Amino acid sequence: MAESSPKRREGGEGLFAPVSVARASSAIAGQIRTAIVTGQLGQGDRLPPERELAEQFGVSRVTVRDALRGLEAMGLIDVRVGARGGAFVTVPSGSVVGQTMADMMMMQALTPEDIAEARLMVELGTVTLACARATEEDLSRLRELCERSERELEARTYGPELSWDFHALLALAAHNGAIEGMTSSFRGTLSMHALRVREPRQRAHAQTVAEHKQILDALERRDAEAARHGMADHLLRGTKLDKRAAPLLDWWRTRDVRTSQRSASSRRAK
């Protein structure tokens, strides 16, 4: 596939304007980021060479290089070396988001409880969307993973990656790119494992597999209420967050009961 390049402005002008502020590398990164966000640069586009960028911005190649390093750290570009190398526009992955949040936790700007509550909010909504949108292919992938998890559990080879994969497939079943991105950040240091009270590993894994199967059963029935309850129980198990999460869960459950009552009344009226 041919590499695409950013379009030039009318009159042969470059895509970027010279910068003259003290923190030139930040200004350069800001212009390139704006071009990406506004669609002037798309995924896979290759930025002009450092020499050409330095000319457009009116700075040295060292300053351009600093700006590109910053954009690469943000996950907005991928810098490749070699004859076909260069700086290519990419899409930030969940790992970039996750690392940022992990750094915030290390600096005590976020607590593990904040992360757990955020996961609860996201994933209660995720299972609701998945109940409405999951295709048979989505459900089949989840079933296959649950079956594999049971085999791995029996062989005592079950690992946290299988749990992460379940939540990732659930996000795919919601058919919302933003949810997929957020869910992919809940891996590694942002997983629930660090929050759980110490449990015998095999018993904890067995509970996880059983809870995943319960959530899947609810999805297959298109029972959003049961899926939410199952997800809440799954995420809160062993975290000592029940009290903090209780008002939220009470609100959800009260809403679920009222919705069920209205649905039953509607069916009787018909």
The model's pLDDT over 106-152, given as tens digits with 9 standing for 90+, comes to 556 667 677 778 788 889 999 999 999 999 999 999 999 999 999 99
The average pLDDT across 97-110 equals 57
For residues 158 and 220, membership in a common domain is answered with yes
The residue-averaged pLDDT of 159-164 equals 88
The boundaries of the domain holding residue 141 are 94-251
pLDDT for position 116:
77
pLDDT at residue number 197: 53
Assess whether 81 and 142 both reside in one domain: no
Averaged pLDDT, 20-30: 82
Among 69, 89, 109, identify where a domain stops.
89
Residue 19 located in a structural domain: yes
Q: What percent of the chain has pLDDT over 70?
A: 73
Domain contains 4:
no
- Inside any domain, residue 32: yes
Decide if 40 is inside a domain: yes
Statement to judge: residues 105 and 65 lie in one domain: no
- Which of 89, 117, 150 is the last residue before a domain boundary? 89
Task: Report the pLDDT value the prediction gives residue 220, as an integer from 0 to 100.
Answer: 97
Mark whether 171 and 211 lie in a shared domain: yes
CATH of the domain at 198: 1.20.120.530
Domain co-membership, 188 together with 238: yes
Average pLDDT, the chain: 80
| Range with the poorest average pLDDT among 50-59, 198-207, 245-254 | 245-254
- SS3 string, the chain, reads CCCCCCCCCHHHCCCCCCCCCCCHHHHHHHHHHHHHHCCCCCCCCECCCHHHHHHHHCCCHHHHHHHHHHHHHCCCEEEECCCCCEEEECCCCHHHHHHHHHHHHHCCCCCHHHHHHHHHHHHHHHHHHHHHHCCHHHHHHHHHHHHHHHHHHHCCCCCHHHHHHHHHHHHHHCCCHHHHHHHHCCCHHHCCCCCCCCCCHHHHHHHHHHHHHHHHHHHHHCCHHHHHHHHHHHHHCCCCCHHHHHHHHHHHHHHHHHHHHHHHHHHHHC
Is residue 268's pLDDT more than 70?
no
Domain-terminating residue out of 89, 111, 146 = 89
> How many domains does the chain divide into?
2
Q: Does residue 102 share a domain with residue 197?
A: yes
